[in-house]
Amino acid sequence: MQKLLRLLFCGLWVFVNQAVHSEIQIDKYYFSENKSISGKKEIADDTSLDNREVIRRVENLNFTPFYSDLLKGFTDDTQWIKLVISDKKSVTDDFSEKMVYPLILRVGALTLDKIQLFEFNKNEWTTQMLGDRHMSYPRLCDDEFHCFYLKSTLEKPITLYLKIESQNIVQIHAEVVAQDELSKVVSKRIMASSISIAVGICLFVVALIFYLIDRSRLILVYVFFQISLTLYTVSFNGILFDFFKGDYFELIKFMPELFFYFRSLLFCLLCREIFISYSVNRFYKRAIIAIVFLIITNMVATFADVGHLNNIFNIALQLCVLGMNYYALITTVIPSKISKIIWIGNTVYSLILTSGFLYVSNLIDVNNFNFLIHDFFDYRLNGIAIGCVIFSIVAFEILEKNKKNQTLLNEAASSKLTVTLLNEKLHEREQMVDLLTHEIKNPLSTINYAAAFIQNNHALESEVNERTKKIVQSTNRINTVLNQVFLSAKLDKYSSKEHEQNESINFTELVKDIVSDYESGRIFKINNREVVEIFGNRFLLTTVLDNLISNAVKYRSQNSEINISFGVVSTSQDSKADGVEVTGGFYFFNITNTVDINNIPDPDQLFKRYYRHDNFISKPGMGIGLNIVQVASNLIGGQISWCLDDDLISFKLKVDL
């Protein structure tokens, strides 16, 4: 599909190109002076021969025709290009406009160090010189092509010779346009270059946004990586040269290579940042440091003009980095999603660099792989591919970090809740200690006082009896307090599953037994005389009833009665399908007493442990009775509720059968 699209694009480009300057025909031929094999030039330097003698020797060379771009990769070989240019204006075309001279010869792209044009004019061969190392300001063409003014016209076919020397990528595209068509041709190339620069800037902005979101060193390195790509594009297109208006030319002419090598350095650092956070072993770290040192050395060697070996060595170092990446993937524990992303990105980039290495080393005829080189070895596409890998890794790491943060927040919230509960328990224990101190201290003082009186007054029998009675009351008070504390602690640890829940209980007798423990039994009015049999846990039910009755006695209004009612509410339903009678219902216990209006409890704290009304602080008690009722009711599966109607307060226990 990509090949088809490229063919369609090329066809469209040829069609447009022909539509613009279809009157000019160019036949192209090339010859390579293979210095890398012979070790010397087959044609002498221009300094030892005049132009006529040089061209005489060149005319005897065996030139090979080519029809599109001539791709030679990175090479030190001198390329001779022969161009035969003619006007193919149709004789029948009466409406064609006259061609505007002079003609412009465009040779590109802007990676050719030195281009020498030989043109026969006025019976002699004249020369013009351009190239990356021989640029002049202002440039005739504002795109990445070197442009020459031709002195000849096309009244008859003309022959031009180009001598091209370069240590960079040798990619030769030659075309001739009329002066009036130059702006149209250049504008299309400038548009393509602008798109490349815009893509680079957009990737830089996206990377910067990612860095502002997540202050990752990986993203920071990619920011500089994208800057180097953008600057490479700018210097490659001659924009950097135009920006300085030709000044500092000696330094600017090395900029494309330096930015290209700097990009390799940052690519190496990108790979290091990807793996360094996953505890990669020392061998990988040391190998990457060694490769970084070699890349920097290679950058310095750029100024020594060592030739195309610089470029081959640079790509070989990048292949070493990719090999180390595979080693790190195999030997390092990495999250599966990130590992898959790195495997895919590393493999794609390995294919790109391998094809590039074959391209620059001249091991294959790159003209047969035009589509591969142009589409996959392009530096702009490399930046996009690497950016996709980096953004995917960072996005996944951000998601993982957010998950971990959420987990930590949940754990912190759980810990905070635990601390709150512990603080509440501690506060309850402090209240219990204070109450125990108060409740035990007073009875003990009474006992000590009574005992001292008895020892000193043996003759007063009535007083002795009174003091003895107080001793008994105080002892009972201490015993009651200790029993409540013990009962509360026992219920906190109580598990209803470990104790029998189906004991047969005579509810009526149980209520009467509890009521009979109180001396003033006449204050109770029991509204149910029937025998009620139920099943449940006797200990828990007794605990509930005892504390409800004790609470009513303690807080009732003076000279008021306590009403008690209890019973069973049952329902029955026949199941015709199975012929089994299904019974259900609940038993209840209701106790009601009046309370002084000033002694109405706080409804929000009534069942809270150690809560006592302000008016009863000085009276015996710890405020845990109703809390015990609530806990025990829950253990038997019951519900405890209460209501207040004027000065009448009622508590109701309801338990399902």
For the purposes of burial, counting CB atoms within 10 Å of the CB of 339, is it exposed (0-12), middle (13-18) or buried (19 or more)?
Answer: middle
pLDDT at site 547: 86
Q: Average pLDDT in the 184-202 region?
A: 79
pLDDT (tens digit per residue) in 146-192? 899 998 888 888 999 999 988 777 778 888 988 888 888 888 877 87
pLDDT at site 162: 93
The first and second tokens of residue 300, run together, are: 């310095």
pLDDT (tens digit per residue) in 217-271? 888 888 888 888 888 878 777 777 777 776 766 677 777 778 888 888 888 888 8
The first and second tokens of residue 466, run together, are: 């009174």
Strand pairing category for 70-74 and 64-66:
unpaired
* pLDDT more than 90, % of the chain: 6
pLDDT at site 375: 41
Phi first, then psi, for residue 175 (nearest 5°) are -150, 155
Lowest model confidence (mean pLDDT) among 45-54, 248-257, 568-577: 568-577
Confidence of residue 118 (pLDDT cuts 50, 70, 90): very high
Q: Which residue has the higher pLDDT, 26 or 199?
A: 26
Q: Which residue has the higher pLDDT, 246 or 288?
A: 288
Quick check: 595 pLDDT over 80? Answer: yes
Which ranges constitute the DSSP H helices of 528-611? Answer: 538-555
CA atoms within 13 A on the CB side of 118: 23
Q: Which residue has the higher pLDDT, 217 or 623?
A: 217
Q: Average pLDDT in the 499-523 region?
A: 78
Going from the C-alpha of 197 to that of each of 181, 186, 193, the distances in angstroms are 25, 16, 6
Please list the residue range(s) of the chain that carry CATH number 2.60.40.2380.
23-179
DSSP-assigned letters across all residues of 365-384: -GGGGHHHHHHHS-HHHHHH
pLDDT at site 592: 92
For the purposes of burial, counting CB atoms within 10 Å of the CB of 245, is it exposed (0-12), middle (13-18) or buried (19 or more)?
Answer: exposed
Confidence of residue 274 (pLDDT cuts 50, 70, 90): confident
Q: Average pLDDT in the 191-217 region?
A: 79
C-alpha 534/C-alpha 517 separation (Å) is: 22
Tell me if 99 sits within 8 A of 213, measured CB to CB: no
Q: Average pLDDT in the 282-309 region?
A: 84
Tell me if 509 sits within 8 A of 533, measured CB to CB: no
C-alpha 569/C-alpha 590 separation (Å) is: 13
pLDDT at site 294: 92
pLDDT (tens digit per residue) in 330-384? 888 888 888 888 888 888 878 777 776 676 666 666 555 554 444 434 444 456 7
Residue type, 481: V
Confidence of residue 492 (pLDDT cuts 50, 70, 90): low
* Helix, coil or strand: residue 304: helix
Question: Is the full-model pTM beyond 0.95?
Answer: no
Strand pairing category for 146-149 and 158-165:
unpaired
495-656: CATH number:
3.30.565.10
Mean of all residue pLDDT scores within the chain: 76
pLDDT at site 440: 66
Please list the residue range(s) of the chain that carry CATH number 3.30.565.10.
495-656
The first and second tokens of residue 349, run together, are: 């980039």
Selected from 2.40.30.210, 2.10.109.10, 3.10.580.10, 2.60.40.2380, the CATH number assigned to the domain covering 23-179 reads: 2.60.40.2380
* Helix, coil or strand: residue 653: strand
Tell me if 595 sits within 8 A of 649, measured CB to CB: yes
The first and second tokens of residue 471, run together, are: 């001793």
Bridge partners of 580, per DSSP, are 575
Lowest model confidence (mean pLDDT) among 333-347, 481-495, 510-524: 481-495
What order of strands is seen across the sheet that includes strand 648-656? 524-526, 562-575, 580-594, 648-656, 638-645
Quick check: 69 pLDDT over 70? Answer: yes
Report helix angle 255-276 to 379-456, nearest 10.
30
CA atoms within 13 A on the CB side of 336: 0
**Cis peptide preceding 138, ω within 30 of 0:** yes
Confidence of residue 590 (pLDDT cuts 50, 70, 90): very high
pLDDT at site 451: 66
pLDDT at site 82: 92
